[in-house]
Structure 1
Amino acid sequence: MKILKIILLNLLILTSLVASNLQTDSQELLSNSFSTKEKAILDLTKKYKDDEKLEVLLQKLLIGDLYFTKEHKRIVFLKEKNNNNYLTADIFSNEELREASKYDFVKVKINNKLRNVINASLSKINLFSKNEDKRLSSAKNLLKYLKVEDNELIVEALESEKSSSVRDILDEANTILIAQYGTNQEKYEAVDKLGSFISTKSLSTLKDVLKNSDDEKLKDIASRSVDIVELKKSFYSLVETAFFGLSLGSVLLLAAIGLAITFGVMKVINMAHGELIMIGAYTTYTIQQLLPNLIEYSVIIAIPAAFIVSGLVGILIERLVIRYLYGRPLETLLATFGVSLILQQLVRTIYSPLNQEVKTPSWMSGAFEVNSALSLTYNRLYIVVFALMVFLAILYVMKKTSLGLKVRAVSQNRPIARAMGIKSSFIDAATFGIGSGIAGV
């Protein structure tokens, strides 16, 4: 027990010394010289890259919240502004200081060059994090701000890295540095290898080799690699464009399904169909306003709600207007156009003519990154999947249910369907409601 206490005491002393050394060395950041600050940041990163407090210090410096007290040169970060007073806390101990006048503090200023240095330093610190996402983000940032001084760090990280996605980025960064600063033979191999990467950084490196190198053999290899990279990028660009087109086509598919159902059964061209889509959108907005704490689930709640609201509006339109105009396509077209104007003005009156923001849930934000040249946004992926699900659901209803059988019967031969006991007026209302509901979703 006594030995354990001694070990714990030594660990506490060691931790205290590390914090103290970091705290002492950080005083260089208080200089008015930007070059001194740059050297201090690089030295701190090299010496304390495993210390979490350095990451906090650099982050506060980057966002402009790092200050020091005029009296004791104590480095603090800003927690809250209260008129001319600042509430701050010690950057190393996190101890909250008493509120003081802003004139008692001096801001640690940085310029654009230092911002790049800090970003690069944060990348180096996070490169050895236990969190894979942090390491991946760090590797990407390191590749973006790549310098020859990073070579040793990249090699060290490559030796310990287990994740294949992080290793690929580090390998690319290492290959670029070899292509720029290696021996002739190393450059030949590195430039040839760069053809297997498709990032903008690799492509710009290859183009620099083509432009600045006097070695004809190296330029030939670089030219082949550039052709390979550009061919891959054009292919992935085509895939991305096709995906965007597919997602947009999915939205149009949902709109077209509703129109096709109403026209196929009732021979009515619904000019208010776009306004029914609008009602679905405003249903989502209304749900988010009524349930502000359920933004993550608002879209899931809004899908059935939009179907019901738009469907009921569609049934109302059919019962009040369209049922009196069957067999007169021109009149139904003009009548539904008038209904569309009424719905537009109604929405303007209730919600105002200004655009209203519908918040995207976090699970629909971001993108699935296939590689550096191809990213598929999650919201578009969900649109494609959702449109397919709705299409299959409608197909099932029309092919496998009693309602679908009656709808098909009325669309093929209305008089015979009525003679068989099918209430065509009910089918008309239900069909118009379903078509309007699909527009709403």
Structure 2
Amino acid sequence: MGLPAHALTADEAKSIASGDTEARVEALNKAVAAADDKTAAFIQAMSDDAVKVTADKVFVIKDDKAYDPVTGAELKLPDDAEDVVNNNMMRGALEAAQAALKLTSKDDAVRMEAAQALFKEPDESRLPMVEKALAAEANDKVKAQLELVRAASLLSSADKAKRLDAAKALGDSRSPDTKLLLNQRLAEETEADVKAAIIASISSIDGSLVWGDRINAVFSGISLGSVLLLAALGLAITYGLMGVINMAHGELMMIGAYATYVMQGIFQRLLPESMFGWYLVAAIPVAFLASAFVGAVLERGVIRFLYGRPLETLLATWGISLMLQQLVRSIFGAQNVGVENPAWMSGGLSLLSNVTLPWNRICIIIFAGLVLLAMGWLIGRTRLGLFVRGVTQNRPIASCMGVNTARIDTYAFALGSGIAGLAGCALSQIGNVGPDLGQSYIVDSFMVVVMGGVGQLAGTVYAALGLGILNKFIEGWAGAVLAKIAVLVFIIIFIQKRPQGIFAVKGRSAEA
């Protein structure tokens, strides 16, 4: 580690291990300022609760044996030796001390992590080590973080001028952690000019954090909108184009999610660990085909006998949804199952101090866009899409032209069901997978399709993204429950004023 040469003494070890907590923390900070490898090892033992004390001696316990922390010699553990008790304050000081000892690491990431940990537990006694690390630091990002650590450490200095300079310096930081630190100091500060500087810094940070909050709200809205879009795209075919009120649509999403879970298990059990990250790629076609197959069976077995009878279709598909839920409970159990994110979907993209965009959400937004493009191409540019549009617009004429309308109905319903399966595959990456997964999205999906305009894919996109962003902005202002109510009221008013949705169906039959 390259620590300064200063041997741990018996008195230092005793002062750190026993006595009043504040005195122990002070002794710990002094030892860290000029620590050697033995000091680092003793601090690690303290963190691991592997230290015992008597009235005049300290022992480090390792493999059921006692050792002297200074010399490393094995000792006989007296019967009256007691465990060292570390309260929350002492544990926080130990974590900060370990972070301080990592400032000399050769790894930039380790030094940055150490500097961030020290920033959360600033202490003026660590300034010599921070100053030394600053003088040797070559990485600009780590150096900037260490500058903040130095300012945070001086914020509680006995010297008024140092506190004033620190308060002004921290105002340049655009971090919620800095704001919290300044607010804590503001409650303790007695000097009026220092208070004014702290308040000005807090106001400056608030101004910069507002943009981060807005970016978070917009991204969360787009993320929610992409989920609603995936859930509603399949419904845009089965309900929007075919006019079938399919209450089992949520369960088709559930089947896609469980298909993803099954593929995860196959990759875990049968393939090397290095291949696990590819399970999600393999799960996409499997989820589509599984839900499409169930949808085709549902259409051929039940729905084809109920076309033109919406109430009977609604009741039949609702009953089927209950049957599918119970089937899944019988096979996989009633409890939620765990679906892991692949390594390449973990973590996030940091834009600002208070803005981190999760990779799994970013991937779902991209995935929703790709599914939308593929569906638009299929409906608008292929022979199957032409037949689907012909059958939904005028079934008798399409039949007269030689189109097998019954087969096209099955293909269209299977397509809508398969897209629901893709939605379930995506949802498995951001939430729990259970028998009730689809129930959370079925109502919202219908609202998106109706608001966008029945049979209009463009309207479905606008409605999904619009409702997602609107919901998140209201949620930040009024809370999740009131946001849901407000969005529902908005949809009701919108449909009253414009019953045909955002985009009305054009054509003679629609205008007649």
Q: TM-score range by the shorter chain?
A: 0.7 to 0.9
SS in 2 for 1:140: helix
User: Which of structures 1 and 2 has the larger relative contact order (alpha carbons within 8 angstroms, sep 6+)?
Assistant: 2
Query: Are 1:174 and 2:150 counterparts?
Result: yes
Q: Partner of 2:46 in structure 1?
A: 61
Q: TM-score, normalised by structure 2?
A: 0.68
Q: Which residue of 1 aligns with 2:192?
A: 215
| Structure 2 counterpart of 1:119 | 95
CA shift at 1:434, angstroms?
1.6
Question: More deviation in 149-158 or 335-344?
Answer: 149-158
| Aligned CA distance change for structure 1 residues 156 and 306 (closer, same or farther; 3 Å) | same
* Mapped contact 2:16–2:28 kept (Cα < 8 A): no
Partner in structure 1 of residue 140 of structure 2: 164
Q: Give the alignment partner of residue 414 of structure 1, picking from 386, 391, 395.
A: 395
In 2, Cα distance between equivalents of 1:344 and 1:416: 39
Q: Which residue is equivalent to 1:139? A: 115
> Tell me, what secondary structure is at the counterpart of 1:127?
helix
> Partners of 2:68 and 2:112 in 1: how far apart?
27
- 1:333-352 aligned at under 5 Å gives the runs 333-352=314-333
1:247 is displaced (CA, Å) by 1.5
| Structure 1 residues 352-374: Cα deviation after superposition (integer angstroms, max 9, x where no partner) | 22222223334333333333322
How far apart are 1:120 and its partner, in Å? Answer: 0.9
- Tell me, what secondary structure is at the counterpart of 1:368? strand
| Deviation (angstroms), 1:205 | 4.5
Gaps of 5+ in 1: 1-14, 79-85
CA 1:211/1:44 → structure 2, altered by over 3 Å: closer, same or farther? Answer: closer
425-434 or 311-320: bigger deviation = 425-434
Distance in 1 between residues matched to 2:67 and 2:305, nearest whole Å = 77
Read off the aligned partner of 1:230 and give its amino acid letter.
D
Q: Normalised by the size of structure 1, how large is the TM-score?
A: 0.78
**Are 2:339 and 1:358 equivalent residues in the alignment?**
yes
Paired with 1:109 and 1:206, the residues of 2 have a C-alpha distance of: 31
Q: In structure 2, which of residues 262, 267, 270 is the aligned counterpart of residue 291 of structure 1?
A: 267
Paired residue secondary structure (1:271):
coil
Pairing of 1:82-97 with structure 2 (within 5 A): none
- Could you tell me whether the CA contact under 8 Å between 1:77 and 1:91 is conserved in 2? no
Rounded to whole Å, the distance in 2 between the matches of 1:297 and 1:23 is: 54
Pairing partner for 2:168 from 188, 192, 204: 192
For each residue in 1:127-172, what CA deviation from the matched residue of structure 2 results, as whole angstroms up to 9, or x when unmatched?
A: 2212222112111110000011122222222223233332332222
Partner of 1:424: 405
Counterpart residue number, 1:46: 33
Report the more deviating stretch, 268-277 or 344-353. 344-353
Which shows bigger deviation, 134-143 or 406-415?
Answer: 406-415
Pair 32,167 (structure 1): closer, same or farther in 2 beyond 3 Å: closer
Structure 1 residues 440, 63: closer, same or farther in 2, change over 3 A? farther
1:257 Cα deviation from its structure 2 partner: 0.4
Partner Cα separation in structure 2 for residue 145 and residue 360 of structure 1 = 33
User: Could you say which residue in structure 2 is the equivalent of 1:230?
Assistant: 206
Deviation at 1:337, TM superposition (A): 1.0
Number of residues paired by the alignment? 407
| Structure-2 separation of matches of 1:429 and 1:105 | 78
Tell me the distance in 2 between the aligned counterparts of 1:61 and 1:362. 34
- C-alpha RMSD of matched pairs (Å): 3.9
Helix, strand or coil for the counterpart of 1:355?
coil
| Percent identity between the two aligned chains | 36
Cross-structure match for 1:326:
307
Distance in structure 1 (CA, Å) of the matches to 2:317 and 2:419 = 18
Structure 1 partner of 2:458: none
Distance between the aligned counterparts of 1:174 and 1:76, measured in 2?
35
**Distance of aligned partners of 1:342 and 1:182 in 2 relative to their CA distance in 1, 3 Å threshold:** same
Q: Deviations over 1:241-299 (max 9, x none)?
A: 33222222211110110000112332111110011111112222223334335553333
The answer for the alignment partner of 1:11 in structure 2 is none
Contact 1:29–1:108 under 8 Å retained in 2: no
Per the alignment, residue 454 of structure 2 pairs with none
Measure, in 1, the Cα distance between the counterparts of 2:197 and 2:125.
Answer: 26
Hey, what does 2:62 align to over in structure 1?
77
Q: Distance in 1 between matches of 2:10 and 2:45?
A: 18
Is structure 2 residue 367 aligned with structure 1 residue 383? no
Q: Distance in 1 between matches of 2:164 and 2:245?
A: 66
CA displacement at 1:309 relative to structure 2: 0.8
1:372 aligns to 2:371 (yes or no): no
CA 56–418 in structure 1, closer or farther in 2 if over 3 Å, else same:
farther
AA aligned opposite 1:154: V
8 Å contact from structure 1 (residues 285, 357) kept in 2: yes
CA distance in 2, matches of 1:104, 1:311: 72
Map of 1:3 onto structure 2: none
Distance 2:127 2:9 in 1: 28
1:276 corresponds, among 244, 252, 267, to 252
SS at match of 1:376: strand
8 Å contact from structure 1 (residues 276, 436) kept in 2: yes
CA positional deviation for 1:123: 0.8
Q: Which moved more, 1:199-208 or 1:176-185?
A: 176-185
The partner residue of 2:288 within 299, 307, 316 is 307
Is 1:265–2:265 an aligned residue pair? no
Structure 2's unaligned 5+ residue stretches are 423-512
Give me the whole-angstrom Cα distance separating, in 2, the residues matched to 1:180 and 1:61: 27
Deviations 1:200-227 (A, max 9, x none): 44324544348634334x4444333322
